[in-house]
Amino acid sequence: MNESIIVKSKIKELAGDYSVSSDFADVLNAKVKQLVQDAIKRAEANNRKTIMGRDL
């Protein structure tokens, strides 16, 4: 099961007058997950157990 960490209704709200395609949320979700995984690697490389904004 692929759990979403983003909220589709918030995407539509942010998009305003623009339509949001059906695949947009899935692609965005995958990118966000990758960003978090990359941030974790950076934190580990710096001997931290806390991910921070600077890890992005």
Residue 1 burial (CB < 10 Å; 0-12/13-18/19+)?
Answer: exposed
Domain ranges of the chain: 21-55
Q: Which residues contact 36 (CB under 8 A, 6 or more apart)?
A: 51
pLDDT for residue 26? 95
pLDDT digit string, tens, across residues 2-32:
788 999 999 999 999 999 999 999 999 999 9
Q: What is the mean pLDDT of residues 29-42?
A: 97
pLDDT band at 44; cut points 50, 70, 90: very high
Cβ atoms of 25 and 47 closer than 8 Å: no
* Distance of alpha carbon 7 from alpha carbon 48, whole angstroms: 29
